[in-house]
Every structure is written in C-alpha cells, then in structure tokens.
Amino acid sequence: MSHPFAGRPVPKGELVDIPALVSAYYELKPGPSVESERVVFGTSGHRGSSLKRSFNETHVTAISQAVSDFRKKRGISGPIFMGIDTHALSTPAQMSAVRVLAANGVDLYIAQDGEYTPTPLVSFAILQQNGRSTKSSDGIVITPSHNPPEDGGFKYNSQNGGPAETEITAEIEKRANRILESGMRGVKRVDYEAAVGSPSVEEYDFITPYVEALADIVDMGSIKRSGLRLAVDPLGGSAIGVYRKINEIYGLDMEIVNPYVDPTFSFMTLDRDGKIRMDCSSEWAMASLVRLKDSYDLAFGNDTDADRHGIVTPVGGLMNPNHYLCVAIWYLFKHRKWAQHLKIGKTLVSSSMIDRIAASLKREVYEVPVGFKWFAEGLFEGWLGFGGEESAGASFLRFDSSVWTTDKDGIIMNLLAAEIKAVTGRDPAEIYADFENEFGKSYYRRIDAPATQELKKRLKKLDEKELRLTDLAGEKIERIYTRAPGNGAPIGGVKIVTENGWVAVRPSGTEDIYKIYAESFRSEEHLDELLEDAGRVVSSLSAQK
C-alpha cells in the first residue's frame, strides 16, 4: 500500500534542515561499539545519515585512511579519481576525504570548477587512465545514490573501474572500524587549503572526454537526424552538467527539466512510502516527469549519481526497469555487430523474460548475485556484452566490443532509448508488448518485511539442502539454489524456480528487513501464491533454532 501523499509535491515541512544536517556531520561522533554507527559496506558502499551518527566526518576520515592503507599495501600508485553527487553531505565528505588522501601522499583528481561528477564518469576516467599509464588508478564516488536528502555515501571503485569486490570492501571496512575503535589512531590529515594546494591534488575535466566519446557507444547521429523531442530530468543530480555538454556537442532537441541543484530536493514528488527519494525507477518519485510524457517523443531521468535510468514513453509512461532491460538487450544484440560469444549479464532477481529473449537470440545468460560488481570483470575483459539489474542499473560495450564503463551508466541507457526510437521508429514500451505476445506476460513484484539480525544471518548462510521442498505455488520445484549459476558466488539468500515462476529471498545489507522477489508467467493470482509460499518458507526458518 502506498503513502497517501505518494506522487505529490514535497510539503515544505518535510524538507531536511541542511544547516542542522551539515553541523551534525562535524559535531556528532559515532560509537564504535554501536552496530548501527559502525562502517558497513553493503552492495554499494557505506551509507548513512549524520543525524543518525551513521555517516559523519569520523566515518569518512576512517574510510579514507583505510583506502590509503589498502592502496599502499596493494602497490596502487596511480591517481584516485573522485566523484561526488549533489546530496548535502557529499561536499563536506569530499573535503574530509581530500584532507586524508593528500596527507597520505595519494595523487587525487577532483572535478574542475567544483563540478559534480556522476558514477559512470569516474569509471570511464579510471579505464581511460589505466589504458595509457603503467601506474594503475582507482576511484571514489561520494554518493548515497537515490537515497533521501539526509543521507551520505562513500563507494570505492577498483582498478577495473567497477565497484570493488567483496573481499576488497571487507578489508577496507575492517580497517576503518579498527581506526574508529582506536580513537582514530594512525590517521593522517592536513588542512583542506593545504591539501588542495598541494601537488597531490589536481582538477580534472571528467565531462568533456566522456561526452565526446558517446558516439562510440550510442548512435548519436541517428538521434540528431531523427529530430526527436526529448526531455531529461537529472532529479537535481550530478548529471546536469553532462546533459548540458551533450546538447552543446551533439545539438539534440533535449530539454533539461529541473536544471538546478537544490540539496533539499524540494522539487521532487514523494516516493511510495512518503519519503523524498531520487529514484528514477519509481513512478511516484518520477510523477512530475510522467505527467509531461505526452509533451515529448521520449523522456528519461537519472538518480543523483546517474548510475540508474528511468525511461518515460508516451505509450507506457514510466517503463518497468525489467521491461526496459529486455528491450535494451534485444535491441543491442540485434543491432550491434558483436561476436556470438558475448554473454548477457543479469542479476538473479531480474526478470526471466531476459532468459526467454536470450534464448531467442541464441545468447548465453550469465546470472549473478545482486550487485553490479559481479559484471565488472566481464565488461572489462570484453566477454560480457551487457550487464543489468532489476533496480534500473546497466552498462554495455561500445560498437567495437571494447569496454565503456564497468559501473552502472544511466546516461547511456537513457540515450540508448532515444537511439531505439530513432532507429526503429517504435516506442520501447511497444517493443516490450511484442515480447509479451511472443513469450508470455510477466507478473513481477518485490515486497519487504521486517527481519531480526538472527533471521538475516540465517538467510545469508542458508544451504539449499535445508529446504525440503518439492513444490511451490502448486508447481513442482525445478531448482533451488543459494549460489548464482553464472559465477557460483553466494547469493546471500535463496532462489526457488518452477516451470512458470520463481521466488528469491535475501536480507537487506543496510536495513532490518528481508526482501522477497517473485515472478509468475501465469497470472497475478499465481504471483500472490508464490509470495505467500515464500513467506511461509521464511517463517519456518524463523521458527527453527
């Protein structure tokens, strides 16, 4: 059930107090013995709020020192590329990180003229640098992604340009918490002015090289010649400057909606639960742009660090992320001259419609756990043509099959939708409707439920042999697995598959909830049965000692 004000403009009384938020970043100190106030790297880095003592100057300082120690240990001597989004805590966090990195003698590139830098541009810059230098580089993106305005976040990207692997983030997390526990012993810092004035810190143009190279991955010429009237809503995020540069270089008829930064995000509409959330895959958060759908041939949005996409069409409104992933995959593998061995990457909770489309294309599916980091190696090495996840994150290879980014890129996914419309003359939502006619209609849903720490640990370490199940929602179970079939990595939960549906259960990495994903190719009623049976499975696990 949605909040009564979901999809409506944010009431003035709901706006975050920015001065109080920033003051708390500097003044409130976390307690290392308090679980919720420690450094925790989930699937997308460490996130929290200064008001809850879960994202403060102390955290960022400790993580930055841990990153410096990790680089020294691994012999990483190239520069770090640092991006930030438009959340109010991102700039203070960047300043804290710069102080530590400069004191440790780490070479650092930050955006010129105080520009904001999206996640995909950091990945792009790392790959460009490592392709021309013997000293390997990595990156940091200071962002809580689409989270509410009071949140902050810190992500570390490895030398392949993608989100760091679990072993790496676990090492950084462990070192950062030891620093917190020791009272910040071993931390090196210099004044901010001394840091930015040192030879270690340089300004860098992240935007121009990325935008100029877009013609290597998206058919910008066809978009221009089509005369499509486009709109983009960066949701007040870091991609505003990128879209301005795209218009400047390629001359598209593309209006930038909300082309300004407001750390309160007062122009947003409330998400399903009544919170401000810059989620470009949410029909409630994107309600303003959806209302404009008939004014443009195509419209799209990004979250604040532009690693997610949201496609709005006159035919279908805001497309379900799973639906657009299917269209993008079909189009790319039909219209790119890619070798037959290139695989299609999907997370285990993405729609099985992808599997059906892949089979029709005679392409192999590479199914991995939740988290884009699992696609980074395949994209980097060039054997994965596309990697996508149901939460509206994806990236793919260039026309010549070489790597573009190894992190999610919502910008190219948006522009690809325009290319699809320009080249085929069809609305992406119309194309997806053809898939339903050919492969069957998909009914998909995700629900969240409260979970104790004990239940979360139980789900995370579950062995499929413990589940003595033979059927689910009236169908014989074909497979139960706790490791992803693509790479054998633990999924941190369980997936159960039948002939016409599946369910997946996994605990949240940052909240006291577990998530149930389900998909049916039979009916809405069958979907309800799948979800109910999955809930009973979890209940039985809770009852076990």
3-state secondary structure of 93: helix
Beta-carbon contacts of residue 413 (< 8 Å; ≥ 6 apart): 309, 311, 324, 328, 394, 395
Nearest to 385 by CA among 444, 436, 344, 435: 344
CA distances for 326 relative to 339, 345, 357, 358, 383, angstroms: 19, 11, 7, 9, 19
Task: Give 340-375 as a DSSP string.
Answer: TT-EEEEETTS-THHHHHHHHHT--EEEE-SSTHHH
- What is the per-residue burial (b if ≥16 Cβ within 10 Å, else e) of 272-281? bebbbbbbbb
Residue 249: burial class (beta carbons within 10 Å; 0-12, 13-18, 19+): middle
State yes or no: is 145 an active-site residue.
Answer: yes
- Name the DSSP letter for residue 3: -
Beta-carbon contacts of residue 94 (< 8 Å; ≥ 6 apart): 82, 84, 110, 142
Beta-carbon contacts of residue 232 (< 8 Å; ≥ 6 apart): 239, 243, 254, 255, 256, 257, 299, 300, 301, 302, 414
Cβ atoms of 154 and 120 within 8 Å: the answer is no
Give the type of residue at 5. F
3-state secondary structure of 327: helix
Q: How far apart are CA 115 and CA 211, in angstroms?
A: 15
Helix intervals (H) in 33-165 = 57-74, 90-103, 119-130
Catalytic residue among 44, 123, 145, 200: 145
Tell me how long the chain is: 545
Cβ atoms of 21 and 52 within 8 Å: the answer is no
Torsion on CA atoms 291, 296, 302, 308, rounded to nearest 10 = 100
Nearest to 459 by CA among 500, 417, 498, 506: 506
Task: Give 282-321 as a DSSP string.
Answer: -TTTTHHHHTTGGGSSEEEEE-TTS-SEEEEETTTEEPPH
Q: Write the Ramachandran bin of 418: left for phi over 0, alpha for psi from -120 to 50, otherwise beta.
A: alpha
User: Which residues form the catalytic set?
Assistant: 145
